[in-house]
């Protein structure tokens, strides 16, 4: 009952504080949601770049480097064996 006689002597300061608190609240809420969405999307499986148009797979790149003379026979066969050994299972 004591507050019923309150005439609002706080003035504009109370309103200013309330507006600033609401701006901070909504900013933090939106930033948190954006961070959550980014986290959930970043933990999704990696994109298969070999499926993209114009993308070459590792064996093609290796064969091209061998054909251009950038690597020798031993290097080509060693890397080719590593590529085939570590090929992802689908």
Question: What is the chain's length?
Answer: 90
What are the pLDDT digits (tens) for 71-89?
999 999 999 999 888 876 6
* pLDDT score at 9: 60
CA angle 49, 89, 57 (to 5 degrees): 35
DSSP 50: G
Confidence band, pLDDT 50/70/90 cuts, at residue 3? low
22 pLDDT band, cuts 50/70/90, is very high
Neighbours of 83 (CB within 10 A): 14
- Per residue in 25-74, pLDDT (tens digit) is 999 999 999 999 998 888 655 555 555 555 568 888 899 999 999 999 99
Where do the structural domains in the chain lie, given as residue ranges?
12-44, 46-90
Show the DSSP H helices in 2-85 as ranges.
Answer: 12-42, 58-67, 73-85
């Amino acid at each position: 009952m004591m507050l019923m006689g309150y005439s609002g002597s706080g003035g504009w300061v109370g309103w200013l504080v309330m507006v600033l608190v609401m701006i901070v609240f909504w900013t933090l809420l939106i930033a948190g949601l954006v961070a959550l969405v980014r986290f959930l999307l970043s933990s999704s499986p990696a994109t298969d770049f070999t499926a993209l148009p114009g993308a070459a797979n590792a064996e093609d790149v290796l064969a091209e480097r061998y054909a251009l003379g950038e690597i020798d026979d031993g290097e080509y066969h060693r890397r080719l064996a590593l590529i085939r050994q570590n090929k992802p299972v689908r």
